[in-house]
Structure formats: C-alpha cells, structure tokens
Amino acid sequence: MADTIETGETGEKHAADAPPAEGEHAPAPQAVEPDPPAPAAEAQAAEPAKADAKKKEEGESWVETVKTVVYALLIALVIRTFLFQPFNIPSGSMENTLLIGDYLFVEKYAYGYSRYSFPFGLAPIPGRIFESVPKRGDVIVFKLPRDDSTDYIKRLIGLPGDRIQMINDRLYINEKIVPEKRVADYVENIDGFEHHVPRYQETLPNGETHYILDRDPDGPADNTDVYIVPPGHYFMMGDNRDNSDDSRAGVGYVPAANLVGKAEFIFFSTNGTARFWEFWKWPWTVRYERLFTVID
C-alpha cells in the first residue's frame, strides 16, 4: 500500500507513488507560493525604518533652526554695524533734548566708518573710510578719547580750527557770541516737587537751533580759556550746560575716528524707572509723547 502525505488543504489522502494509468499523462507540478509574512513581523521590520526617518527629520529640523538663528544674528550684526545702532540714555547731560530713559537709533553711515563702527573696535581701519564731515549742531555718539570702550553723546559745537570759549555764561565761537533767546522753563519733578530750570534757544553760526539749560548762572564751566580745536578733531558740549562732562573738561577734543554716528530719532522712552524689557511696567512709565520723535 502506498504511503500518503498531508496536503494541508482538505485533509484528503492520495497515493504518492502510483504510476499513471495507460493513456494518461502525469500531472504537471504546481508552483508553491510562500506564505505571506505575518502582520506582526511586517510591523517589527518597519519600526527601525520609522525610527531612523524620525531621527533624520529631527536632525534636519534642528539644523534648520540653527541656520535660521545664525542668519538672523548675521543680519542684525550687519544692520547694527553699517546702518543703525540702538542706544539708551543713562544720564541728564543732554536735557532737555534727551532724557534719562530715552532709547534712540544712531545712524552709523552718517560720517562714514572707522574701527569704532564695528563691535569691540576690531576692524583694522585707520582713520575713517567713506568719510563725511559732520555738521555743527549734530547730536553725535562717540567713543570717549581716554577710554575707547565708553560711548558718549553730545552736541557738536566746534569744528577743526574753531576757537571756542565761554564768557560769563555765554558761548563764543571764533570770537563771536552765539545768539540765544529765553524761552519757557524746563520743568522737572524731583522727589514729587516741581523744579523749574531756565531754558534758552541757542542759534549756532550755521543757523541750527536747539534748546539749552542754564542751571547755574555762574557755574565752574561758564568762564573758560580759549579752546582751539586741532585738525581732525571736534569740540563737543552737552545741552545741559552746567551738568555735562564734555570738551570743556574731562572729554577734551574728540578725534574724527572716534565718531560712532549721528543720533536720529527716539524710538522708545520711559521715565527712567523701567527698563526696555520690563513691558509689564510700560503702561505707567512710557513717555508716549516722546515715541518716534526726531532729535534736533
């Protein structure tokens, strides 16, 4: 009797070795297809691929974020170096033109560029390039000659070759008195009390006008020797004439290379009790009337 095998399909048994009957042909062998992989096996095989794809996607996202930050920093650096740089006012030497708590933009390209136009003064530029001569009366940010890491802001009063002198509380340029006109007092609040400061409108030889304060009619800097501005230098003074460290005292003559830029406009201002980033204090501290005002 012939042995039998299981087909795995119906449970029927067939003779394995029986020869075909005469006149009949042996049946053709049938191709056996492999069983499809189990769903669980497919899922397990796909997991590493999904994990690799996710890691790749996260890596690309992190790289894009870093690139975006780097590009933003580079753009900000270019704008700060070549176009506009923000500054804030920490002292009252330019009252009432500029007040403590004012934030302003300085035009970096106004007078060309020097090493001090760049962060930390690292650019190897001798003197100035693309230089333009500043105008008498401009409000200028410059590096302090005795300490080139400190920024000062004053008004340009004397050009190279000018003779500058204070006589009895009045400014003389090249032996001619600078006209001034009494205007309404500057009123400030000190410890809850109003304090009135005499204010004048001063007109420089080129016709530029601005306000100055005269806190002390006989202050220590109201009578000086003649200052002769050397070539390549400028003479700076604060508008708050009796409360300003300027070219009459510790600042001295300012080299042209030390000019950083021209103060253009105030973009933000608080009363001095809140910093720029303390936004929760803005409703009570912002000087709204000073926002986006041009600096004269």
In terms of phi and psi (left: phi > 0; alpha: psi -120 to 50; beta: otherwise), the region of 14 is beta
Select which of 93, 114, 244, 269 is catalytic: 93
Report yes or no: 110 and 132 within 8 Å, Cβ to Cβ: yes
Let me know if 154 is a catalytic residue.
Answer: yes
Select which of 108, 143, 154, 262 is catalytic: 154
Let me know if 149 is a catalytic residue.
Answer: no
The distance in angstroms from the start CA to the end CA of the chain is 121
CA 273/CA 279 separation, integer angstroms: 12
CA 72/CA 95 separation, integer angstroms: 35
CA 295/CA 171 separation, integer angstroms: 22
Neighbours of 216 (CB within 10 A): 14
146 token code pair? 């005795």
In terms of phi and psi (left: phi > 0; alpha: psi -120 to 50; beta: otherwise), the region of 223 is beta
Active site residues: 93, 154
